[in-house]
Amino acid sequence: DAKTTQPTSMDCAEGRAANLPCNHSTISGNEYVYWYRQIHSQGPQYIIHGLKNNETNEMASLIITEDRKSSTLILPHATLRDTAVYYCIRSGGGADGLTFGKGTHLIIQP
């Protein structure tokens, strides 16, 4: 059980912002929200993570709602190379492996 819900697929035009939603309504107080992406036939790539506050790095921004029941990953200027499956994962911060759901297949259209 991935314990997160994401749309199966999304399209976005190249150069536009891609906003990927994730629902994690049963998240615990000590669980972080992590985002990874997997380009076809490669290992997953870490993107960003957060606990309560919004976060931004060179790849993306993460917006977490105040009640922490959902979040949105934002790729500010999507390129064709951002086409991938994006996984939203809850993790308690311990030394455990990750539980992957089905993710969102983001397709960037030229």
Partner 1 sequence: GAVVSQHPSWVICKSGTSVKIECRSLDFQATTMFWYRQFPKQSLMLMATSNEGSKATYEQGVEKDKFLINHASLTLSTLTVTSAHPEDSSFYICSASKQAGTEAFFGQGTRLTVV
Tell me whether residue 103 or residue 106 sits nearer to partner 1 (CB atom): 103
CB environment 60-85: b (16+ within 10 A), e (fewer) = bbbbbeeebebbbbbbeebeeebbbb
**Does 93 interact with partner 1 (rule: CB under 8 A)?**
yes
Q: Candidates 78, 87, 104, 108: give the one binding partner 1 (CB under 8 A).
A: 87
Pairing of strands 104-109, 9-13: parallel
Tell me whether residue 80 or residue 98 sits nearer to partner 1 (CB atom): 98
Q: Candidates 17, 26, 46, 80: give the one binding partner 1 (CB under 8 A).
A: 46
Q: Candidates 1, 41, 66, 110: give the one binding partner 1 (CB under 8 A).
A: 41
Question: CA torsion 96→102→104→105, rounded to 10°?
Answer: 120
Question: CA torsion 100→29→34→94, rounded to 10°?
Answer: -70
**Does 3 interact with partner 1 (rule: CB under 8 A)?**
no
| Sites of contact with partner 1 (CB under 8 A) | 2, 34, 36, 38, 41-46, 49, 87, 91-103
